[in-house]
Amino acid sequence: MSTGAAILIVAATFLAMEGVAWSSHKYVMHGFGWCWHRDHHEPHDKVLETNDRYALVGAAMSIAAFALGSPLVMGAKAWAPGTEIGLGILLYGIVYSLIHDGLVHQRYFHWVPRKGYARRLVQAHRLHHATIGKEGGVSFGFVFARDPAVLKQELKAQRERGIAVLREAVGD
């Protein structure tokens, strides 16, 4: 495989992982997997959350792709793009951890962005946490954030339709 093709597969996988993360967050974590995700939405003073199990699921996906792409593991049946896909998943996991756990939830470092895209990410995820329980909500992605003003309008409409219960007035 050429270097260009390998880079393209890694980049495409990274971008696709935002779709995987968005859909699994909306339909699994806020659906049948709420039992693992609930403590992420509730105040606590624990270092680890039950929700952190989802990081292990992502790591398992990456490891499985690396294994499928490894001639050492699979022999002649190695799947050519497996290593690049595993790398794309791994890179997404690192960026996710830095943005979501580090920047947004301040688990690793304390920096509150005052402007730019980093601020938009923080605002969007705080709006995600503006609801009580698993119903309703906005901003299920992790790396790409929509305009917070639009998200506030969506939350307001959900509240008016009785879909979402908000923690408090949604502000900036």
In eight-state DSSP terms, residue 99 is: I
CA 72 from chain centre, in angstroms, equals 31
Q: Is the pLDDT of residue 54 over 70?
A: yes
Alpha helices by DSSP H, the chain: 3-23, 34-37, 53-68, 71-74, 82-96, 116-128, 148-161
Best CA proximity match to 43, nearest among 137, 128, 138, 132? 132
Q: Is the pLDDT of residue 42 over 60?
A: yes
Check residue 170 and give its pLDDT.
53
Q: Rounded to an integer, what distance in angstroms lies between the CA atom of residue 130 and that of residue 139?
A: 11
Most distant CA atoms of the chain, gap in Å:
59
Q: Is the pLDDT of residue 127 over 80?
A: yes
Q: Is the pLDDT of residue 46 over 80?
A: yes
Residue at 71: amino acid letter: P
The pLDDT-based confidence of 109 (bands split at 50, 70, 90) is confident
- DSSP, collapsed to helix, strand or coil, labels residue 154 as helix
The pLDDT-based confidence of 172 (bands split at 50, 70, 90) is very low
Check residue 50 and give its pLDDT.
96
pTM of the predicted model as reported, rounded to 2 decimal places: 0.89
